[in-house]
């Protein structure tokens, strides 16, 4: 019988709260714990669900060589002093349902979570996952009263990951060699930019035919709906959770690459007062820098149209 050494030091952890113990929230908590990034509090209104899932994740930590503490709770006070709060709580999309259909119901949920976050973790960075994500980020920043740099939407990371996957399959390359650019809202009017999308040192326009690129762009825009249609009773969660963790690792300095995230613009790209996906640099305090790309007139117009679609959603909520 082999006995593993007991001399492994337990590192000091940050604290991350994941709100919502559904598929996205639980998978996010799992990935955080598996990578030993932080202690995790999984919170949900349904009794027993966050406690049971948290315990299951905790019991896997020895196998991952992770010292993360994972707890589940129905009491938001247990999330106090979190460094990051990830909001996944809300209704999931069903077949035939657009992200916009979720607007008012999820706005109420996200607003309450943001208010509780302000009370319990006033210095936290908030990552918003709940759909329609760009509008929900706007709801969260208003309800929490935080600086805009500390409330960030996840969608662009996910959209870009989907596009990279589709390009890799079509071109027969490793997805790690693909660098894709997707701007705009996390919805039907997102703006993939093939002109700035590279495989190694080559633009995809030099590798793939235009017909293939058009199909990839459309599949990227409909990536979430495609999964909803296949699952019938749920929506995507592996890739969204991995996208959140990518943001967290960047905030913690583990990775150092710009990411496309939904942030509130204040004149960048000629857009103000709305959350929209653009390339950014993240740090421990949230948004550090918005990177402005040199866009063509057509790309600018598409980005503005996407931003206006988000603005119409927030307008329906009176914010």
Name the pLDDT band for 1 (thresholds 50, 70, 90). very low
Q: φ and ψ at 158, to 5 degrees?
A: -65, -45
Cite the residue boundaries of each domain of the chain with CATH code 3.90.110.10.
Answer: 156-316
**Could you report the per-residue pLDDT of 229-257, keeping only the tens digit for each?**
999 888 999 999 999 999 999 999 999 99
For the chain, the residue count is 319
**Integer Cα distance of 152 and 136 in angstroms:** 10
Q: Which helix (H) or strand (E) holds 204?
A: none
pLDDT at 8 over 90: no
For range 3-23, the mean pLDDT: 78
Q: What is the mean pLDDT of residues 163-187?
A: 96
Every domain of the chain with CATH number 3.40.50.720 lies at 14-154
Architecture of domain 14-154: 3-Layer(aba) Sandwich (3.40)
**Does 4 have pLDDT greater than 80?**
no
Strands 202-203 and 198-199 turn out to be antiparallel
pLDDT at position 187, please?
86
CATH fold label, 156-316: L-2-Hydroxyisocaproate Dehydrogenase; Chain A, domain 2 (3.90.110)
In this prediction, residues 175-193 reach a mean pLDDT of 94
Q: How far apart are alpha carbons 134 and 112 in whole angstroms?
A: 17
Whether the per-residue pLDDT at 12 is higher than 90: the answer is: no
The set of catalytic residues is 186
Q: Measured between alpha carbons, how far is 116 from 79 in angstroms, rounded to an integer?
A: 9
Residues 59-100 have pLDDT tens digits of 999 999 999 999 999 999 999 999 999 999 998 766 666 656
pTM, full prediction:
0.94
**Of residues 219, 227, 224, 314, the one with CA closest to residue 264:** 314
Task: Pinpoint the alpha helices (H) of 68-132.
Answer: 103-120
């Amino acid at each position: 019988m082999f006995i593993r050494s007991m001399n492994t030091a337990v590192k000091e952890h940050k604290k991350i709260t994941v709100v919502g113990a559904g598929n996205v929230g639980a998978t996010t908590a799992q990935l955080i714990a598996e990578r030993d990034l932080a202690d995790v509090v999984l919170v949900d209104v349904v009794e027993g669900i966050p406690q049971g899932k948290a315990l299951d994740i905790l019991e896997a930590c020895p196998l991952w060589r992770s010292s993360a503490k994972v707890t589940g709770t129905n009491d938001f006070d247990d999330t106090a002093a979190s460094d990051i709060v990830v909001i996944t709580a809300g209704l999931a999309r069903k077949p035939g349902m657009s992200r916009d259909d979720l607007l008012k119901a999820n706005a109420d949920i996200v607003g309450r979570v943001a208010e509780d976050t302000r009370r319990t973790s006033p210095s936290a960075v908030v990552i918003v996952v709940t759909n329609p994500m760009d509008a929900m980020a706007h709801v969260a920043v208003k309800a929490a009263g935080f600086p805009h740099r500390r409330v960030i939407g996840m969608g662009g990371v996910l959209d870009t990951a989907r596009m990279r996957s589709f390009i890799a399959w079509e071109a027969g390359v490793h997805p790690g060699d693909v660098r894709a650019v997707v701007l705009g809202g996390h919805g039907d009017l997102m703006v993939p930019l093939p002109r700035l999308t590279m495989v190694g040192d080559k633009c995809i326009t030099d590798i793939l035919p235009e017909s293939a690129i058009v199909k990839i762009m459309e599949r990227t825009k409909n990536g979430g709906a495609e999964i909803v249609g296949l699952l019938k009773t749920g929506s995507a969660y592996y890739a969204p959770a991995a996208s959140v963790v990518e943001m967290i690792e960047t905030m913690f300095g583990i990775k150092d690459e710009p990411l496309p995230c939904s942030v509130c613009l204040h004149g960048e790209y000629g857009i103000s007062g709305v959350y929209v996906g653009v390339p950014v640099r993240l740090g421990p305090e949230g948004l550090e820098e918005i990177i402005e790309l040199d866009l063509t007139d057509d790309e600018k117009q598409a980005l503005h149209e996407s931003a206006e679609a988000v603005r119409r959603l927030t307008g329906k909520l009176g914010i």
